[in-house]
Every structure is written in C-alpha cells, then in structure tokens.
Amino acid sequence: MVKEKHWPFKIYPIQFIALGFAGIILFGSVLLTLPIVTKSGQGTPFIDALFTATSATCVTGLTTLTTSEHWNMGGQLIILSMIEIGGLGFMMMPFIFMAIMKRKVGLMTRIILQESLNLDSLSGVMRLMLYIFRFAMGFQLLGALLLAIDFIPAYGLGRGLWYSFFHSISAFCNAGFDLFGDSLVGFQDNAYVLFVISGLIVGGGLGFIVWQDLMNFRKTRKLSLHSKLALTVSLSLLIIGTLVFCISESGGRYLVGNSSPINRFANMLFMSVTARTAGYFSVDYGSVSQAGILFTIVLMFIGGTPGSTAGGLKTTTFGVLLVQTISMLKGRMHAEAFRRTIRPSVVSRALTLFFITLTLCIAVTMLMSVTEVLPRFRGIEYLLFETFSAFGTVGLTMGLTPSLSLMGKILIIGLMYIGRVGILTVGFSLTIRLTKKEQGNYKLPEESVMIG
C-alpha cells in the first residue's frame, strides 16, 4: 500500500482520477470559449462551453448548442479530442507519451491506471493499457472505413472522410455527438449506416476486459465470471429491448413511416442499442410512446459494461443484483451464477451503487421540476428522461436540453461528470481522508432488523 506522504500534495489515486477529468473539462471549456473555434467568430458563453466540454469528456452527447452549426472545424476537432480522451480514459494520454519516449512507468502511475480501469490488482496493467489502445484504434478505423463507403459518395471525399472518422470515434466512445444537426434521423431509411453505428456502440460499450477475454478464448477456452455476466446481460437487454420497442412502437410504423421492414427493424434495434449510453437517435423521441419512453429510461439507467466507454449503473451491477434476487428467491444464502459464488462484498457494493444512483437521479429530477418549465402536454417523464440520460452519459433528449435554465445546466453538468467518473469514485475522493482516519481494528456489535 502506498503511503500518503509519497503522493504530491497528499492526493490519493482515486482523487487524482476525479481531478484529472475535471481538469480536462475545464481546459476544454476555456478552449471552446475562444472566438476562433466558432463559425460566427464570436465567443461562446462559458456555461455553454462548460456544458459542451463536460458532455464530450464524459462521452454523453447532450448539447445546448448544435455541433454542426455552432462550431467550426477547430471546435469540432477539440470536441472530438475530448471524446477520445474521455472515452478511453484520460490516463491513456500520459501512457502513450511514456511509451513513445520509452520511459519506465512508476508505481504511482500504475496504481492510478489500476484505479481508472477498476482492476483488482496491478498485474498486467501495462499490457492491458497497450491492448486497449490498439483495440480502440483498430475498431474505430474499421468503423470509419465502413462508414466511408456510404458517406464519401454522399458528401464527397474530404467531407465524407471527416464525417466517417468523427462519427466512428463518437459512436465507439458512446458519445453521441453528430455533425448532421439532427443526429441520425436522416438515416432512418439507411439500415447499413444504422447497423454500422450500432456495431460501434456495442463494441465500445461491451468493455475492454470482455473483448480481451473473447480474443483469448481460443487459447484459454474459458471466460471469466465478469465476462459471462456482462455478455449475458448485454445480449439479453439488446434482444428484449428490440422486442419491447417493436411491440410498443407497432414495429416502428408511426416513427419511420412507410420504410421497408428491414429499415423498421434497424430502427427498433438501434433504439435498443443507443439507449445503452450512446446518445444517437434515428427517431423523434417526442413521438415515442409512453411505454417506449419508460423502457428507454430503464435502459439508460442500466448503461454499459464496466471498463468500457459507457456509463450508467453498469450491466454487471444490474446482473449481480438480479443474480442475488434469484438466489434469494431460491432460498440460497449467496449469489450464485455460472457455477460460481459472487463475493458478498461485490453484492453489497452493487446494492449501494443502485441505491445511491437511483436516489441521486430522483433528487435531481425533483430539483429540475422547480428550476425548469415543462412544455404543454408534457409530464414528469420529460425531466426523468433528461436526468437519467445525463447520469447514464447517454445523450438522448426529448427536447429539453437547449432550453435548460442556468441551474438546470449546472445540475446536468454535475450528473454527467458523476456518471462518467463514477459516483463511488467521486464520493471516495471527497471522504477518503476521513475514512482512513476513522478506520480501526474493531467491529461494532451485531443486531438483526426485520426486512420485508
């Protein structure tokens, strides 16, 4: 264990991660306020620049300004850089620098990398970082090439290539920023683009640890419990989500008009994929049924897999809670899945995460019901959708984002930051000193409490 005095300014690794993301956001905000990065040549108000920088770094996609209309090439490049840094983790940049300069990575940096990747040990941290970099670059390049097949004929060579790379990176990082102005609504009848974007979203949201397990499966012939749980929950949500949207939206007939069956299916599948922290949309969510809106909120809350570019509660957290519930209903004392017993500490952590995150989202929704004005014929789902979208770093909206009040913007900025960095990371970074001072080798007396 690294002693406190070894850290400059007495900063712990978990605090360094929280401050690192905050530093990138503030630096990006300053850059985005400059007049030279806007198409109009006028400076951007700091709160809007801060909102955009937070959304990009936290790979959310909610924007108070239209990316394609407000920012010029320079502004879009800054946003894309923050998306990449935020998606892969800000520690990826110093790692690349050290690798290029062939400098030895010290223990402190390894511990920070371990915390940022949520690993149990330091073993293999550097190999995993190198794998993440290579995998991400390769996946994004492949996505860009596939999108270029459609975009270059439609927009020309230069613009088509820029659109391809921008949307490939944005989709893989689950950011949801677009250069079309209306996300992917213009591609409702283009199943090819929707399928490619869906593949990129799933690829980024599945988690680098899971992909490493899958790549090594031919050699090891086994998957970790983490990967099994993540794959099972992700695939189940994808299938169930598509079926639910097909039923609730009548197969997409009222959302995509007279499109072909394959295009309608692509849109329903896309709704299931993008709700898991991606933020792109091919339909107007103002026209989605109440059942569809409610289920989208559930998917946004669950989010993607730990160790990925996605946010939210996380699939494995939801899976652990589901396993614990099923095991308890079967009369078992421990959570059991795939012939393994999940550690009680993991179950307790999952329950804590679920309670805190749900409470936080509800509390912010209540505050926004005071600070924001609901449009006519809109109920509380209008605010719930925005709140859970921000926390899950999804980026979907029913149209509230551009009209947010100053307090509303601040609340959403806070939610996006917590959703990306992690509520436990933020919480521990604020209380770690107090916790360490209060730790002791004692245990208070036990007593039972009636439940249910």
Torsion sign (Cα): 155, 157, 159, 162: positive
How far apart, in whole angstroms, are the C-alpha atoms of residue 166 and residue 19?
A: 27
Tell me which residue of 383, 331, 309 sits closest to 136, measured CA to CA: 309
* Residue entry with tokens 């223990």: 107
**Tens place of pLDDT per residue across the chain (452 aa):** 444 444 445 666 677 778 888 999 999 999 999 999 999 999 999 999 999 999 999 999 999 999 999 999 999 999 999 999 988 876 666 666 666 666 666 666 666 666 666 666 666 677 777 888 889 999 999 999 999 999 999 999 999 999 999 999 999 999 989 999 889 999 999 999 999 999 999 999 888 889 888 888 888 888 989 899 999 999 999 999 999 999 998 877 778 777 788 999 999 999 999 998 888 999 989 889 999 999 999 999 999 888 787 888 899 999 999 999 999 998 888 898 888 899 988 899 899 889 999 999 999 999 999 999 887 777 888 899 999 999 999 989 998 899 899 999 999 999 999 988 877 666 655 555 544 544 555 566 776 676 56
* CB atoms closer than 10 angstroms to residue 273: 26
Strand, helix or coil for residue 341: strand
The answer for residues whose C-beta is within 8 angstroms of residue 385's C-beta and 6 or more apart is: 285, 293, 296, 297, 396, 397, 398, 400
Query: Which residue in 287, 283, 285 sits closest to 188, CA to CA?
Result: 283
Residue 414 structure tokens: 């806070």
User: Considering just the CA atoms, what is the radius of gyration of the chain in Å?
Assistant: 22
- Measured CA to CA in angstroms, residue 329 lies from 316, 322, 350 at distances of 20, 11, 18
pTM metric for this prediction: 0.88
Cβ atoms of 221 and 317 within 8 Å: the answer is no
Number of H helices, E strands in the chain: 19, 2
At 289, is the secondary structure helix, strand, or coil?
coil
Instruction: Identify whether the C-beta of residue 120 lies closer than 8 Å to the C-beta of residue 91.
Output: no
End-to-end CA distance of the chain: 41
Grouping H, G, I as helix, E, B as strand and the rest as coil, residue 398 is coil
Nearest CA among 293, 184, 191, 202 for reference residue 244:
293
